[in-house]
Structure 1
Amino acid sequence: MSGTLISLTLFAALLHATWNTLLRGGKDKLWSMTIMCVAIAFTSVIMALFLPIPARASWKYALLSALLHVGYNLFLIRSYQSGELSQTYPVARGSSPLLITCAAALFAGEKIAFHTLGGIVLVSSGILMLAVRQRRLAMPGVKHALGTGAFIAAYSVVDGMGVRVSGHALAYTVWMSALWGVMMPALYIILRDSKSLLCWRPELLSAAAGGLVSLLAYGIIIYAMASAPMGAVSALRETSVLFVAVLGYWFFGEALTFRKILACTVIVTGTLLIG
C-alpha cells in the first residue's frame, strides 16, 4: 500500500470510531441508526446525479451489499444495547479481518500469506481476553459482536469485488449507500411506524452528522480496496479499535484497564499481521 492509501485508511479508522461513538451514545439506537441511513441516502442520491452509473456487472454486488449492511446495522445495535463500546467494538472489528482474508481467498482469489496464521492467533486471543474472564463469559453481547464481525466481513468482500468491476469506485459507493440508506428506514417503519421516525428529537442533528461521517469513512475504504488487497485495507482500518477504547473512556466513563488496553493492542497487532 502507498503512503497516501495508508494515511487515508487511518483517517477512515478515526472517522469510523467517531460515528460508532455517536451511535453508542444515542438513547434510541435503532432510531439513531435509521436517521444516519436517511442522511446517507439523501447525500448519496445527490452525489449520484453528478457521477456516472456504475457498470452493470457491479449492480448485483451493490444490492447484496446493501442488504448485508442492514443486517450489520441490526447486529451492531444489539451489540451496543448489551455491552460497552470499548468491548463490543473491538470484538466486532477484530473478528472481521480474519474472516475477510479467508473469504477473499475463497471468492476473490487472493492468497493468504504464512504470517496470517500468527495474526489470526493474536486476534482470537485478544477477543478472548475481552470476552472471557476467569473462565466465565464477561461480555453478554459477544454473540452479537461476533455476528456484527461476520456481516462486516461479508459486505467488505462483496464491495471489494463489486468496486473492481464497477468502473468507478465513488459511483459504486454512492449507489450502494443509497440502496442501503433507503432499506433501513423501510425496515424501521415495518418494525415500528413512520410517525416516530419523522418526529423531532434533540439527537437528530448528531445522528445525521454520524451518517455523513460514516459515508465518508466507508467511501475512503472502498476507494482503497479498489487498488489494494482487501485484507490489508481491512486490517489497517481496524486500528479504530484503539481510538474507540479512548473515546469510550472519555465520553462514557468506561474503564480503561490494563487488560482492556492489552487486548485491544493484541487485536490491532493481529489485524496488521493479517493485512
Structure 2
Amino acid sequence: MSLFSLLLVVLAAVIHASWNLLAKRASDAGPVFVMAYTCIATLVYLPWAAWIFIESELVFGVFNTQIIVCIVLSGLLHLAYSLFLQRGYQVADLSVVYPIARGAAPVVSTIGAFLFLGEPLFTERVIGLSAVVIGVFLVATRGNLIQFRQPSAYKGVSWGGATGAMIAGYSVVDAYGVKILGIHPVLLDWFANLVRLVMLFPWLLSNRKAAVARMSGRWGLALAIGVLSPLSYILVLFALGMGAPLSVVAPAREMSMMVGALLGMIVLHEEIGVWRFVGCLILVGGVIVLGRS
C-alpha cells in the first residue's frame, strides 16, 4: 500500500473516532438518530455526488445489474451493522460486544478479500492483522477479559460477531464496487446512504411522535455526524480505489480505536491505563507492518 493511501486511512480513522465520540452522546436515541444523520448526509453530499455524476457524463443506463446489486447490498449491510450493534448494546455489555465486533471485522474482511477479491495472504499481513486484533482487544477491554467468562457474555459475543460480520460484509462489497466495478467512492457511499434512508422511512412514519421527541436537542450532533461519517468512509473507499488491498485497509482502519482512546483521555478525561497503552502500541505496530506489506 502506498504511503498516500495509508495516510488516507489514518485520516479516516481520526475522523471515524471523532464522530463516534459524538455519537455516544445520543446512544439512547435509537434508529431515529441513525435516520436523522443519514438524511443529513444524503442532503449534504448531494451536490458533490450530482457534480461527479454530471461531470462524468453518467446516465442511469450505466447502472447495470451488478452495480445496482452492489449499491443496494452495501446499503443493507451498513444498515444491518447499525441495527445489530445497537441491539448488541441493549442485550449485553459494551465491553463484550464492541471488542468482538471490531476484532472480528478485519479478520473476516481479510478472508473475504482472499476469497472474493483474489488478494494474497502474505506472512507480513497475517502478522500485522494479528497484532491489530490483539491491540483492539487490549484497548477495548483494558486487559480485563474476565467478562468473557460470564454466562451472559454469550449474547455479547453472538451480537458482536454478527456486527463484525456485517462490517466485513460491507467492506468486501464496497471494495468490489470501487475496485472491480469502478464505482466512484462518493457515488457508492451516497447511493448506499439513500438505500438506508428508504429502508428506515417506513419506521419513521409509524413512530413520528416518538422520533421527534427523541431528536430534541440532538440535531447538532446529527449534523456533525452526517458530515463526518460519510467523509471518513469516502476516504477509505478512495484508498481502496487507488489500489490499496482490503486485507491491509480493513485492519488499518482500527487505528480509530487508538484515536478514540486518546480523545477519551483528552475530552472525557478517561484514564488510558497500562493495558490500553500497550494495546495502542501493538495496534500501531501492526498497522506499520501492514503498511510495509
TM range (shorter): 0.7 to 0.9
Q: Equivalents in 2 of 1:7, 1:14: separation in Å? A: 11
2:167 corresponds to 1:147: no
Structure 1 position 193 matched with structure 2 position 194: no
- In structure 2, the CA distance between the partners of 1:2 and 1:27, relative to structure 1 (3 Å rule), is closer
TM superposition shift of 1:203: 1.3
* Alpha carbons of structure 1 residues 11 and 124: separation in structure 2 relative to 1, 3 Å: closer
Secondary structure of 1:115's counterpart equals helix
Query: Aligned pair in 2 of structure 1 residues 64, 176: CA closer, same or farther (>3 Å)?
Result: same
* TM-superposed deviation, 1:19: 1.1
Q: Structure 1 residue aligned with 2:81, among 65, 72, 83?
A: 72
Q: Distance in 1 between matches of 2:177 and 2:158?
A: 28
State the alpha-carbon separation in 1 of the partners of residues 268 and 89 from structure 2: 12
Note the alpha carbon deviations across 1:131-152, whole angstroms, 9 max, x for none.
6238735995444333322211
| 1:133 aligned residue | 146
Of all paired residues, the percent bearing the same amino acid is: 29
Q: Which residue of 2 aligns with 1:43?
A: 44
Long gaps (5+) in structure 1: none
Shift of 1:58: 1.8
Please give the alpha-carbon distance, in whole angstroms, between the structure 2 residues aligned to 1:108 and 1:117. 17
Change over 3 Å in CA distance of 1:9–1:117 after alignment to 2 = closer
Residue 101 of structure 2 aligns to which amino acid in structure 1? A
- The reply to whether residue 232 of structure 1 matches residue 232 of structure 2 is no
Aligned mate of 1:256, from 265, 272, 277: 272
**1:230 shift after superposition:** 1.2
| Stretches of structure 2 lacking an aligned partner (at least 5 in a row) | none
Deviations 1:14-65 (CA, angstroms, capped at 9, x unpaired): 1101111111121524232221112122234443332325642322111101
Partner of 2:124: 115
> Match for 1:95 among 101, 104, 111?
104
Q: Which moved more, 1:114-123 or 1:171-180?
A: 114-123
Q: What CA RMSD, in Å, does the superposition of the two structures yield over aligned residues?
A: 3.0
- What is the CA–CA distance in structure 1 between the aligned matches of 2:234 and 2:152, rounded to whole Å? 31
Match of 1:178 among 194, 197, 218: 194
Secondary structure of residue in 2 paired with 1:109: coil
2:185 corresponding residue in structure 1: 169
1:112-162 CA distance string (max 9 Å, x none): 112333334434544555362387359954443333222111101100001
Change over 3 Å in CA distance of 1:128–1:202 after alignment to 2:
closer
Q: Work out whether residues 178 and 184 of structure 2, in 8 Å CA contact, stay in contact via their aligned partners in 1.
A: yes
8 A Cα contact 2:131 2:285, kept in partner: yes
228-237 or 65-74: bigger deviation:
228-237
User: Within 1, Cα distance between the matches of 2:151 and 2:43?
Assistant: 40
AA at the equivalent of 1:263: G
Query: Equivalents in 2 of 1:158, 1:231: separation in Å?
Result: 13
2:25 corresponding residue in structure 1:
25
Q: Following TM superposition, by how much is the alpha carbon of 1:255 offset from its aligned partner in structure 2, in angstroms?
A: 4.2
Q: 1:269 to 1:97 in 2, by over 3 A?
A: farther
The Cα offsets for residues 189-219 of structure 1, whole Å up to 9 and x where unpaired, read as 37x6123224551111112211210011111
- SS of 2:52's partner is coil
1:32 and 1:83, CA in 2 relative to 1: closer, same or farther beyond 3 A? farther
| Letter matched to residue 183 of structure 1 | M
Contact 1:236 1:271 (8 Å CA) reproduced: yes
Superposition deviation, residue 90 in structure 1: 4.8
* Residue of structure 2 equivalent to 1:210: 225
Aligned residues: 272
The 10-residue stretch of structure 1 (44-53 or 156-165) with the greater mean CA deviation from structure 2: 44-53
CA distance in 1, matches of 2:98, 2:148: 21
State how far apart, in whole Å, the 2-side matches of 1:250 and 1:83 are.
Answer: 24
Any conservation in 2 of the 1:41–1:179 contact (CA below 8 Å)?
Answer: no
Checking the alignment, whether the CA contact within 8 Å between 1:62 and 1:172 is kept in structure 2 is yes
Task: Identify which range, 254-263 or 92-101, moves more after superposition.
Answer: 254-263
